[in-house]
């Protein structure tokens, strides 16, 4: 495709969380193989050394003969400098340290509450949100001052409340949230077609879906391949593999990786509600009552998914730091690897280099019926030049809508609690959560107070 926008060769992208050793490296890889974009990436991070290291890694990558993207990476020391006049802002941060995450995920286990992720809902999601909302309020105010016309792409969890906070702090912001969980469900159906129905070369993008819900609790009421309705095939799949499971990778891989599953929760929810749940099992489990999928580690194992421990994250962080050192010193070559994310495709579409329809998180303008306007929801949207328009997705069936709205309203409560520094309201949100409400209220209150104290240093102005 001929370049239609000269700006695409002189872009400025600001990466907040630019010291990242995951998402930032993924962006570098995607930009490196994209011939139609070029410019400068400003890396800002409260860990300035990590941002500087990523600038070294990115600039070394740009000099390689197999790289077609012409990018300069700069580490900047202030958020205002990073944002001044930028075209796109990408946010991917960790609110707090792994010690706070350890409390989020593992302290509730003392009360019999197990969490497979702990970053979106449940006790862990609540505490993470309370830490995140002040940070995102500050980011939004800086964007309003220094880059009000920039497009803002969020990858941080809790996704819903991150995007919701950006709009609460700066209503005129042009922000949206990206999540790849729906992609995994498309890949599941592509594998179903390939392995069980003899189709060849089915890509996940070939599976057309209608997306309704909220982040990590998304649902599909339509799925087609080349015009063929996939619901009857998925229904057969969910019945046939209800107990055994059907994995994207080799059979039994869920036992080797806490990020994998056998999709038994996918199938169980389909058989209960008649819609395709379109997030990973470890996320879906946390939105449901505790005794469904997360009653105890044995129950988790029986559903063939895993609990991602903070010890694993600590070990992984050490390994990534060691890898970063080797990349900075030139002892290891950066591996160009397609991430499967669509951030670069979105940027291209917003610049007028084609169109893109995909799932994103946006405030509800009516694209999802039965959910309050203004609440952040996940549906498909159409990206085109300087335009992002949500696709009207319809309304979830009453039984599923009741499940979704419980979390929508609770997330709105969490936002209000964080913005007003209201501890009693935050506790009410904890008591309303399906996981925390599964234990006696006095125990839930005690758990909340202990978790609150552990994260209080990130909550300025609270009692």
Catalytic residue positions, numbered: 180
The two structure tokens encoding residue 107: 């302290």
DSSP string, 88-123: EEEE---SS-HHHHHHHHHGGGGGT---SS-SSSHH
From first CA to last CA, the distance across the chain in angstroms is 57
Residues in the chain: 463
Cα angle, residue 86 at apex, residues 82 and 88 outer, rounded to 5°: 105
Whether the Cβ atoms of residue 246 and residue 262 lie closer than 8 Å to each other? yes
For residue 291, the Cα-to-chain-centroid distance in whole angstroms is 25
Report yes or no: 267 and 241 within 8 Å, Cβ to Cβ: yes
The residue with tokens 């796109």 is 88
Calculate ∠ Cα 181-246-268, nearest 5°: 75
From the centroid of its chain, how far is CA 177?
7
Residue closest to 46 by CA, chosen among 139, 114, 153: 139
Sign of CA dihedral 395, 407, 174, 54: negative
Q: Which two tokens stand for residue 127?
A: 């505490």
């Amino acid at each position: 495709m001929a370049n239609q926008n000269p700006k695409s060769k002189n872009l400025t992208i600001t990466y907040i969380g630019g010291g990242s050793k995951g998402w930032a490296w993924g962006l570098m890889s995607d930009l490196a193989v994209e011939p139609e974009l070029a410019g400068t990436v400003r890396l800002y991070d409260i860990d300035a050394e990590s941002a500087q290291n990523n600038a070294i890694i990115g600039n070394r990558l740009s000099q390689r003969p197999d790289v077609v993207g012409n990018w300069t990476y700069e580490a900047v020391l202030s958020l205002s400098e990073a944002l001044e006049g930028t075209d796109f802002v990408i946010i991917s941060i960790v609110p707090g340290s792994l010690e706070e995450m350890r409390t989020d995920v593992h302290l509730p286990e003392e009360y019999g509450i197990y969490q497979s992720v702990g970053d979106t809902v449940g006790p862990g999601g609540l505490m993470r949100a309370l830490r995140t909302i002040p940070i995102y309020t500050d980011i939004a105010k800086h964007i309003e001052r220094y880059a009000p016309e920039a497009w803002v792409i969020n990858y941080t969890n809790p996704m819903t409340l991150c995007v919701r906070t950006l709009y609460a702090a700066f209503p005129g912001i042009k922000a949206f949230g990206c999540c790849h969980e729906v992609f995994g469900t498309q890949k599941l159906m592509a594998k179903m077609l390939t392995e069980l129905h003899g189709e060849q070369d089915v890509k996940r993008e070939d599976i057309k879906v209608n997306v309704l819900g909220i982040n990590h609790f998304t649902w599909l009421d339509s799925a087609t391949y080349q015009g063929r309705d996939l619901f009857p095939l998925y229904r057969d799949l969910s019945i046939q593999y209800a107990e055994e499971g059907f994995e994207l990778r080799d059979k039994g891989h869920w036992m080797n990786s806490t990020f994998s599953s056998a999709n038994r929760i996918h199938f169980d929810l389909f058989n209960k509600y008649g819609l395709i749940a379109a997030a990973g099992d470890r996320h879906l489990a946390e939105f449901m009552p505790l005794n469904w999928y997360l009653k105890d580690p044995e129950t988790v194992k029986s559903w063939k998914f895993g609990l991602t421990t903070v010890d694993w994250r600590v070990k992984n962080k050490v390994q990534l730091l060691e890898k970063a050192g080797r990349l900075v010193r030139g002892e290891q070559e950066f591996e160009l690897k397609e991430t499967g994310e669509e951030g670069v495709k979105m940027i291209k579409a917003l610049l007028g280099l084609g169109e893109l329809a995909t799932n994103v998180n946006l405030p509800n303008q009516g694209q999802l019926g039965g959910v309050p306007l203004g609440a952040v929801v996940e549906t498909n949207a159409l990206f085109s030049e300087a335009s992002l328009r949500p696709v009207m997705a319809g309304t979830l069936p009453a039984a599923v809508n009741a499940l979704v709205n419980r979390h929508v309203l609770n997330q709105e409560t969490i936002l209000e609690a964080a913005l007003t520094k209201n501890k009693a309201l935050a506790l009410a949100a904890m008591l309303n959560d399906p996981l925390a409400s599964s234990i006696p209220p006095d125990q839930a209150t005690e758990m909340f107070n202990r978790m609150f104290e552990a994260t209080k240093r990130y909550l300025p102005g609270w009692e």
